[in-house]
Amino acid sequence: MKKENSAPTMKDVAREAGVALGTVSKVVNGLPVGDSYRLRVEDAIQKLNYQVNSYAQGLKANKTYTIALLIPNTIDPFYASLTYHINIALMKRKYRMLLCTTDFDPLLEQEYVTMAQHNKVDGIIGLTYNPNLIVEENTPFVAIDRSMGPKIPCVACDNFAGGQLAAEKLAELGCKNVAFLRSGSALVNEPNKRKSGFEAGCLSRGLSYEMKIINDGEPYEEFEYFLSEHISNGKLSFDGIFCVTDRLAYLVLHTLHKLNQQVPEDIQLIGFDGIRSFGNIDYHCSTIVQPVPEMAEMCVDLLLRENMMMKPPLVCLPVTYAYGRTTKEI
């Protein structure tokens, strides 16, 4: 029954027609339903003067055709590229994208997730290193680079294979004694597999290696200290360095110049990500390239899949090597 002073809702229609709410929703949204049910619903709609408009239709069916992207910022070129390609992938499917830059703020991240739970968006694609982020099981969510539980698919590049590829390239380019430099989150995450992959690659190729690992918040100077410690008679003991990101490789390149080391003649340097200057000119360094457009497509594809069984917990997409002047040309 319609209450005094309020427009009839879909619930009122269901009560009047004596059917489930879902049945009304199906009729309103033009989905298949038995004819007798349809007629009862249509009668009730007419009797109550229930109004269907496109907005309400979207709201009641919990479809906003809007996805939120949770990303720390769009200043970092890897995040900027992900943002762009996810935007393209969503637009191709006539979805809109709310951009939610978080600067890694846990409160803001939780706020956006709650917004999704209130059905203001149909789902979330998120890159977050917040271990306390609570995502309800029925909120469609696809994580990038960090697994957030068995029910939430995670999309990443094949970081392990990327680390391995870096070791193999350095071996192929004649290196004998290499180093791995990493800064980043101490949390379990996909990019951290670059280290294990690199170790595996070094072992299989007989490369001797050292590692210098620092966590977020520790100063870059730790790497400068590590490198200068490994110089004797003006020469660095390494002939190859793999850096966990292109950004780190860029900083290390400057440090090596300061230490009078020649790149790539004496030391070859490989980064990770595949960042180009100004977004599309040349690589900052020789690098393991993440397949960003493919990762973006995969995120959107997984998010919009209806069948949970078809949502694997981890999808890793293949990386490639690109020459960027900090290694010898093969």
Rounded distance, CA 151 to CA 319, Å? Answer: 25
Distances (CA, A) of 232 to 177, 237, 241, 251, 313: 15, 7, 17, 22, 48
Residue 47 contacts its own copies per CB under 8 A: no
CB 179 within 8 A of CB 212: yes
Among 61, 88, 213, 304, binds its own copies (CB under 8 A): 88
Rg (CA), the chain: 26
Among 83, 130, 290, 326, binds its own copies (CB under 8 A): 83
Among 275, 303, 315, 319, binds its own copies (CB under 8 A): 275
Residue 284 contacts its own copies per CB under 8 A: yes
Residue 194 contacts its own copies per CB under 8 A: no
Residue 250 contacts its own copies per CB under 8 A: yes
Residue 84 contacts its own copies per CB under 8 A: yes
* In the complex, least distance from residue 58 CB atom to its own copies, rounded to whole angstroms: 9
Among 139-147, 188-196, 222-230, 276-284, which window interacts with its own copies (CB under 8 A)? 276-284
**Structure-block tokens of residue 4:** 């005094």
* In the complex, least distance from residue 6 CB atom to its own copies, rounded to whole angstroms: 7
Among 81-89, 188-196, 305-313, 316-324, which window interacts with its own copies (CB under 8 A)? 81-89
Among 19-27, 83-91, 157-165, 296-304, which window interacts with its own copies (CB under 8 A)? 83-91
Rounded distance, CA 327 to CA 195, Å? Answer: 20
The closest alpha carbon to 292, from 275, 308, 306, belongs to: 275
Buried (b) or exposed (e) across 255-286, using 16+ Cβ within 10 A?
bbeebebebbeebbbbbbbbbbeeeeeebbbb
Residue 74 contacts its own copies per CB under 8 A: yes
**Structure-block tokens of residue 240:** 């190859």
* In the complex, least distance from residue 219 CB atom to its own copies, rounded to whole angstroms: 15
Half-sphere exposure of 171 (CA within 13 A, CB side): 18
CB closer to its own copies, 80 vs 231 = 80
Residue 103, sorted as left (phi over 0), alpha (psi -120 to 50) or beta, turns out to be left
Per CB under 8 A, residues contacting its own copies are 5-7, 49, 51, 53, 55-56, 59, 66, 69, 73-77, 80-81, 83-84, 87-88, 91, 96-101, 108, 246-247, 250-251, 275, 277-281, 284
